[in-house]
Structure 1
Amino acid sequence: MVDSLMSSEQDIGARATEPSSRARVWLLVVACLAVSMVVSSMVALNTALPDIAVRTSATQSQLTWVVDGYTLVLACLLLPAGAFGDRYGRRGALLIGLAVFTVASVAPIVVDGPVALIASRAVAGAGAAFVMPATLSLLTAAYPKSQRSKAVGIWAGVVGSGAVLGFLVSGILLHFWAWQSIFWAFAGAGALITAFACTVPSSRDEDAAPLDWRGAVLIGAAVALFVFGVVEAPIRGWSHPLVWGFMAAGVASSVAFAALQLRLPAPLLDVRLFARPDFATGALGITILFFANFGFFFIAMQYIQLVMGYSPLGTAFALAPLMVPVFVLSIATGWYLPRVGLRAAVTVGLVLIATGLSCLRLLDLDSSYLDLAWPLIVMSTGIGLCTAPTTSAIMGAVPDEKQGVASAVNDATREIGAALGIAVAGSILAGRYTSELRPDLARFPEPVRERAIGSLAEALAVADRMGPQGAPLAELAKSAFLHAMDSSVLVLASVIAVAALFVAIWAPGRDGRQSRLVRRPAGGRHRG
């Protein structure tokens, strides 16, 4: 299969005729369609988990892995998949990924049971790992540098809006059909985009060294072990030996990977790139951006549905305004980034995200949608200012023949940031909710206390079955959740503020130089 897909790549290399303007626009459309499908798939099943639990008898742990299995496999295969595209052809890698994703999306329709569902989602994640880096590397290879920022900006805007789009589409589907409709939609979209992808120009590094399989195994294991530990943290607790063990093993594997790469003449990833201010700023910025984004989504979706009383579809529409500033500012990157520089754009963006998150602490049990909407706009403006510049910084720091690897670094930092954001926000939310609610439950029977202490959703379900007597329980649980949400967003905002300070000091400015605090003396020498 690989040989047949790659055969068309042999006569299309970096020295091939540059694609026409129309071909580049079509490539941009296909790349955006493919990456929006992959990103939407990360979150779409969140809205369907209650139905899946009822229809498949899945446990809470199995439901968690229905969502996280996809993300985990995607994260650990990104870098090898990006290098594969650079070596053997980026369009071929995209076609392989789309084919695997499409077939895996059909599986839950024809097989039954939670284990089969988790396995199919993991396989879909493997396909997605080939799709994401291929879409961006195809764009950066096809577009001349004078037009690259705009194309990358549009791609980044689509990625930044993908989560909201996933919530919106899945909410509409579930409003009319059963949960299997989500997989029908992904399978149909995958087949259609595969047909489109056959028509786009390709690129590859004709002089690429053989793929570093030892490095691929090490970095895949590093990401998988670390993300697995992070995903398990909210369930088992951050102090659990399993959590620390997996995270430590992930860090050890990454150190071994770095040591191996420094010894190779043609490394999978030149780890010295992380010493470059632009590359390091891009990697940190994207990690923190998705840390905030997915941590916020985890909290906000519960607040909107359980406290404000919105339906899943109503929640998606409530979050839809987030997409507008993100997309507009991503497209405008080519205009404002040369004028203000990477340091100012990312620093201001991170400060706005931290400010928007902090303003969510003003919400109470009777807040209106307008009370929620203006912090969302502040946040999304910050996200828009960060999204495309950080991606451009990573891609611009790497040679054209390594664009697949650079794209994979860009995507891997997103997945790690998202996993960390959900884990941190979820852990703080659960711990503070329990500690706030427990003292107020003494007057309720033991069975009620056991259920209510688990989560706000369970507390409200118990309160509904108690009739009029359940109103005080619902009020107490919502109040405890609000206090817990305050703690979560405060921690998220604090982490982002620290990252903003680092970027303000370390990132290059409009002149391409760092802040005076870290700028070397003339001649580049340090006094001993």
Structure 2
Amino acid sequence: MSTTSRRTSVGLVVLAASIPAFMASLDNLVVTNALPVLAVDLDASLEQLQWFINGYSLAFASMILMAVALGDRFGRRRVFSGGVALFTVASILCALAPTAEALIAARVLQGIGGAALMPLSLAILSTNVSARMRPLAIGIWGGVAGLGVAVGPLVGGAVVEGLTWHAIFWLNVPVGVLALVLIRAFLAETRGDRVRLDLVGLGLGMAAVFGLVFGIVRGNDAGWTSPQVLAALVGGAVLLLAFLAWEGRTRDPLLPLGLFRDRSFSVANAVGLMFSIGIFGAVFILIQFLQVVQGRSPLEAGAMTMPWTMAPLVVAPLTGIVAPRVGIRALVTTGVALQSGGLAWIGLTLDPAVAYGELVPGFVACGVGMGLVFAPLATAVLAHMRDEDHAKASGTNATVREIGVALGIAVLTAVFTGVGGELTPTGYTDAARTAVLWGAAILAATTGIATLLPSRRAELATAPAAEAAPAPALAPA
């Protein structure tokens, strides 16, 4: 095979794996900019607005590990394709939803389909390219996936203003069809360890996540000491402990707890959880500030955040090139610190009359920071894993991050409503400022966690062993 054709093949593999990841990450926040419109068109409450996003995120998070297990057993490409097909059909149901309840239900189905996309796309990509090409391939994948999260509000705003909110979901249909064609043409089938499906673990994990997030979402409306909220929070915590106990003793766990013995994997997951809580909860608050308080249209609000949303497209692929030289810890720590500083800047300058130029430095810092985190964090998760464990490792990380998205929106919305915030021009800003500064504080704490990632010297020390293994895992250096 010539050098040119080899490069073309790698490029097509990356494209086939990245488009579904982009589609899944886009739908995390594509609805965000349409929330004020949805509130009017579907007569939706603030709690329902949260569930338009959390219904997707929770279903996504709850089903990821089962999708990974199905992929390992029946073929990752097969399950990956099935997830794309289900996601596409669910998008049609979202577009046709006549009520808030119907949209939430369709978003849940969409999240179930999306659960197969993120972790399996990364696992398939890592086993369809050579070990030498993996850092660059994962860097591009991280940039594309990060772009989906980042441009979600912009795409949502543009579509809502130019067409209707229904078109947000219709856009997924041609993309899904194209993705199915590319997957079939350019991705080879791969499998992991074929083990028995852990249905008990799935049930416990789903119930635990739902209970915890439901309790947080309902806390301010129903009262934090109300029976339903206490039952949800306590029950969720008990179920989480039961899930961990079951996973520790069952022969074929949905979540192999032994993976957490690897320091790089454990710290990367902790960073992923906290990063998602801080940044995505703040995005949920800020997009609505621009529309509710400053009267911006959905498209204007999306365009104004472009210094934030477009930076990962440039920065994330570059990290795949830079990471072997400077190490993962330096990139992730710097990225999270930039996001913390950016949110602090935005929170401290937030005012109904604030000029757009005063917000731009914070937007740029957040965008560059996101670009520095996405790909290196994915690299850290897979750094010392066997090829057979790539899907489980990336699935665990995707689960943790999706839980973080749901918790971030729930927690920062709870902060917002807890200090008297309302969806009105006069009742929004003070509470939004407090919520955004909470996000900055969460990310500041995450910076400290990121310093626990293996040092550059430790990465170099483990690289030879990884390269000599029969099934070489991605080494971060």
TM-score (norm 2): 0.87
Moved more, 171-180 or 371-380: 171-180
Q: Relative to structure 1, is the Cα distance of residues 239 and 283 closer, same or farther in structure 2, using a 3 angstrom cutoff?
A: farther
Residue of structure 2 equivalent to 1:160: 146
**Equivalent residue runs for 1:72-151 within 5 Å:** 72-110=58-96, 112-151=98-137
User: In the alignment, does 2:387 pair up with 1:400?
Assistant: yes
The one-letter code of the counterpart of 1:392 is T
Q: Distance in 1 between matches of 2:197 and 2:147?
A: 33
- Partner SS state of residue 267, structure 1: coil
Q: 1:216 aligns with which of 172, 190, 202?
A: 202
- How far apart, in 2, do the equivalents of 1:431 and 1:212 lie? 39
Higher CA-based Rg:
1
Structure 1 residues 175 and 219, CA, compared in 2 at 3 Å: closer, same or farther? Answer: same
Shift of 1:217: 2.7
Partner of 1:421: 408
* Corresponding position of 2:455: 509
TM-superposed deviation, 1:240: 4.1
Q: Do the aligned residues in 2 keep the contact of 1:91 with 1:200 (CA within 8 Å)? A: no
- CA deviation map 1:211-232 (0-9, x unaligned): 3333233323333333333333
Match of 1:404, as an amino acid? A
Distance 2:169 2:444 in 1: 39
SS in structure 2 of the partner of residue 205 of structure 1: coil
CA distance 1:363–1:262, change in 2 (3 Å): closer
Provide the C-alpha distance between the structure 2 equivalents of 1:481 and 1:171, rounded to a whole number of angstroms. 20
Q: Any unmatched runs of 5+ in structure 1?
A: 1-18, 435-454, 461-476, 515-528
Q: For the Cα contact (< 8 Å) 2:335–2:370, is it kept in 1?
A: yes
Alignment-derived partner of residue 386 in structure 1: 373
The yes-or-no answer on 1:487 pairing with 2:415 is no
Aligned-residue offset at 1:314 = 0.6
| Percent identity between the two aligned chains | 33
Q: Is the 8 A contact 2:279 2:439 kept in 1?
A: no
Residue 343 of structure 1 pairs with residue 329 of structure 2: yes
Summarize deviations over 1:244-278 as a string: whole Å, max 9, x none.
Answer: 43233333333223223332444332213223220
Q: Secondary structure at the match of 1:250?
A: helix
1:406–1:234 distance in 2 versus 1, CA, 3 Å? farther
Report what 2:23 is aligned to: 37
Distance 1:397 1:251, change over 3 A: farther
What does 1:56-455 align with in structure 2 at a 5 Å threshold?
56-58=42-44, 60-110=46-96, 112-205=98-191, 207-360=193-346, 361-433=348-420, 455=422
- How does the TM-score come out when normalised to structure 1? 0.80
CA contact (8 A) 2:62 2:202 kept: no
- CA shift at 1:335, angstroms? 3.1
- Report what 1:497 is aligned to: 444
- 2-side partners of 1:82 and 1:35: how far apart? 15
Distance 1:396 1:240, change over 3 A: farther
CA contact (8 A) 1:87 1:208 kept: yes
Query: What whole-Å deviation, never above 9, does each CA across 1:279-331 have from its counterpart, x for those lacking one?
Result: 11210111122112212212211222233332110111111122343232321
Distance 1:243 1:223 in 2: 14
Root-mean-square deviation (CA, aligned residues, Å) is: 2.5
Deviation at 1:54, TM superposition (A): 4.5
The whole-number CA distance in structure 1 between the counterparts of 2:93 and 2:352 is: 42
**Alignment CA distance shift 1:481-1:180 (3 Å):** closer
Bigger drift between 168-177 and 132-141 goes to 168-177
Q: Which runs of 5+ in 2 are unaligned?
A: 461-477
Question: Residue 417 of structure 2 aligns to which amino acid in structure 1?
Answer: A
- List, as ranges, runs of 4+ consecutive aligned residues in structure 1 with deviation greater than 6 Å: none
What do the CA deviations read for 1:469-489 (whole angstroms, capped 9, x no partner)?
xxxxxxxx2xx6433233223
Greater displacement, 101-110 / 85-94: 101-110
Count residues in correspondence. Answer: 455
User: In the TM superposition, what whole-angstrom CA distance separates every residue of 1:166-207 from its partner, at most 9, and x where no partner exists?
Assistant: 222222222222222222222232223223222132333365
Could you say if the C-alpha distance between residues 432 and 216 of structure 1 is closer, same or farther in structure 2, counting changes exceeding 3 Å? closer
Find the residue that maps to 2:338 and give its secondary structure: helix
Distance 2:264 2:282 in 1: 26
Residue 203 of structure 1 aligns to a residue in which SS?
A: coil
- The alpha-carbon distance between structure 1 residues 237 and 28, as it changes in their structure 2 partners (threshold 3 A), is farther
Partner SS for 1:511: helix
The one-character-per-residue Cα deviations of 1:340-367 (angstroms, maximum 9, x if unpaired) are: 3233222222222111111121343332
8 A Cα contact 1:234 1:424, kept in partner: no
**Cα distance in structure 1, aligned partners of 2:96 and 2:220:** 32
CA apart distance, 1:237: 4.8
Partner SS state of residue 132, structure 2: helix
Query: What amino acid is aligned across from residue 151 of structure 1 in structure 2?
Result: A
2:57–2:403 contact (8 Å) kept in structure 1 = no
Q: How far has the Cα of 1:119 moved from its partner?
A: 2.1
